Structure 1
């Protein structure tokens, strides 16, 4: 049951205001289940904190304040068992800026940035933004789970590799990497003397209750010394356009390099984003727990529906509100050249797998009211039946 105070079933008309998600299909009967923002109102605690700050009426330049830092520190300890210090925090307007900065301080122009695909599309373009070279290793589907190909990872690393760009929990495949995998990655980075930039923006959205998220930098002091961890309240509490994120960088020398690269390029964080972040980490956990229960039920509906759709298959995402769906059998059996166009014609807007480095896949966002999801899955099923 949905908590009465947190009505995730409520349909909010997002087409009445500017919206990237809904604006893509303005004037068309297409349900947008593509970009990674949810169709739920932000937590009441966040909205109330924003309203109080707006009532003050003055929005001058503001740095992070002690109670904001304390809320984040307490939240990371509570949710992930990670004890960090206030000095380790570097505030950012978003994690994309954060991992582009990591590329900028990793070696020199022409050096390599290694990442695992399929992956969040900005990972694939970030290295070239600072003259670095993208190096890719493919995750492999084994025993119903996306996993690391450790031999391929070693082969993809060259003497020019300077940075391992990690997505954990992983977008789009939904993996929560376990401690054995993380320790093996940390050992790999240590042996090759790599900086690790770990985008952990989905860390608050673990759906499998028996698989807690473990920050790579929290494994031990050695892992922490070489790791830049990126986090934000934006995905978990559905406040992405408030533009507030942070890096956790335990090593003082690495932190100084990172801050130096920000100068004159990275703007201050939105004051309302910081207000929202404090409220989310301090008071937003009851809403988050209710959200997770709702998303687990939505996930079950997607898994059941896709299993009954000819030509489609998927693994069960352990985290995020994103389903990574393999359409290659559909393409082969039905001659469907473009799965996104096929489902868009049926009234469902999905993300194109090629942008993640995996043509033939689509990504479906199930962070929406159950009625919207049921309508979308019904449209997909009817298109396949036809």
Structure 2
């Protein structure tokens, strides 16, 4: 394996097995490296912990509303990072992005109205439709010029479909939609009169130096008025457990329906989550830039090693820290189980809609990634050596 430079911020392996971590508790008593659920193993920026310490020292944790400073930071961030001019009143705070997806399904469709989603896709897309008992349509995600993209020409919409779930950057697959692809998506939504719920939680984690995130709603006024954009600092700064997310809804009628559905069911964001989000957006940029550099190096190592192994293929990852590995050539009935037995616990592709794939989270220490790759390589070598 090539030797990559060391980064003191991200190289340490922090013990998480007994910290109530969902990711690490899954294999707490087994020699299996957890490379599955999408949280990173990186310590957050010190600005976040400093802000949390200060808030904890206040010693009162009553009901809280969003700080005006946080709202302005989000408005400024959308303008400076993505060239998207938004208004403060468009922002609706949520205690998690997944509840935003579920709210969109329930607010903008009824029992007889359908939802269309790409597939394979992040599992809450599918579960939100199933839980709401809405008619489901899918758009197959296919490989197009080495990039995973929904194939709009092969979409088969159920009668009376009203909502499209969009994931940009795409999870799994890591594709960053370019302007032409988003414009085609908008045309598809206009043709079928669809509202669009755009999950853009990974928009800060663009790894391809030639790609830029474009919010769907920023395309033009037509896109803005038919969309809900979901964002969060959770993946970017590893604060998913604190639960601070935002829906940006330019259309006042859609915003009213969204808030009405939320009322009495979805709780407000808590004081510590607001504190962490504000500190992240106000002081976390340098840390984020260093993290992007580290993830790019992990991606380069991972891509080279996976593509050097028999039976596996990893196409370019433009964004996210999630590798969508094609194991369809692997001569085993279940790739996820095969690698789990080898000591690498990835997300099963079946959860996303294709059991011949596995998804690997590479937001971890370089040493842990190397160990995982070595285990995968050993397992495949042993498999290749077995007599037919």
TM-score, normalising length: structure 2: 0.95
- 1:377 paired with 2:352, answer no
Q: How far did 1:30 drift?
A: 0.6
Q: Is the 8 A contact 1:2 1:290 kept in 2?
A: no
Residue in 1 that maps onto 2:361: 365
**1:249-285 Cα distance to aligned partner (Å, 9 max, x none):** 0011110011000011100112111111111111111
Q: Please list, as runs of the form range in 1=range in 2, the aligned pairs for 1:289-328 lying within 5 A after superposition.
A: 289-328=289-328
Residue in 2 that maps onto 1:203: 203
Residue in 1 that maps onto 2:385: none
Q: Please list, as runs of the form range in 1=range in 2, the aligned pairs for 1:211-290 lying within 5 A after superposition.
A: 211-290=211-290
Mapped partners of 1:148, 1:267: distance in 2: 33
Q: Is the 8 A contact 1:40 1:238 kept in 2?
A: yes
Q: Please list, as runs of the form range in 1=range in 2, the aligned pairs for 1:36-55 lying within 5 A after superposition.
A: 36-55=38-57
Q: Is the 8 A contact 1:75 1:282 kept in 2?
A: no
Give structure 1 regions of 4+ aligned residues with deviation exceeding 3 angstroms: 1-4
In structure 1, stretches of 5+ residues that fail to align are none
Structure 1 window deviating more from structure 2 (305-314 vs 69-78): it is 69-78
Residue in 2 that maps onto 1:108: 110
Residue in 2 that maps onto 1:160: 160
Q: How far did 1:148 drift?
A: 3.1
TM-score, normalising length: structure 1: 0.96
Q: Is the 8 A contact 1:322 1:366 kept in 2?
A: yes
Residue in 1 that maps onto 2:92: 90
Mapped partners of 1:222, 1:305: distance in 2: 44
Residue in 2 that maps onto 1:184: 184
Q: How far did 1:137 drift?
A: 1.3
Structure 1 window deviating more from structure 2 (78-87 vs 139-148): it is 139-148
Mapped partners of 2:131, 2:50: distance in 1: 39
Mapped partners of 1:79, 1:217: distance in 2: 14
Mapped partners of 1:163, 1:86: distance in 2: 25
Q: Is the 8 A contact 2:189 2:196 kept in 1?
A: yes
| RMSD after superposition | 1.1
Q: How far did 1:111 drift?
A: 1.4
Residue in 2 that maps onto 1:131: 133
Q: Is the 8 A contact 1:110 1:131 kept in 2?
A: no
Q: How far did 1:150 drift?
A: 2.6
**1:49-101 Cα distance to aligned partner (Å, 9 max, x none):** 11111111111101112111011111222221111110000000111100101
Residue in 2 that maps onto 1:57: 59
Q: How far did 1:134 drift?
A: 1.7
Q: Work out the number of aligned pairs and report it.
A: 378
- 1:121 paired with 2:117, answer no
Mapped partners of 1:117, 1:228: distance in 2: 20
Mapped partners of 1:3, 1:26: distance in 2: 27
Q: How far did 1:25 drift?
A: 0.6
SS of alignment partner, residue 69 of structure 1: helix
**1:291-321 Cα distance to aligned partner (Å, 9 max, x none):** 0000000000110010111111011110000
SS of alignment partner, residue 311 of structure 2: coil
Q: Is the 8 A contact 1:12 1:39 kept in 2?
A: yes
Q: Is the 8 A contact 2:108 2:257 kept in 1?
A: no
Q: Is the 8 A contact 1:94 1:245 kept in 2?
A: yes
Q: How far did 1:16 drift?
A: 2.9
SS of alignment partner, residue 171 of structure 1: coil
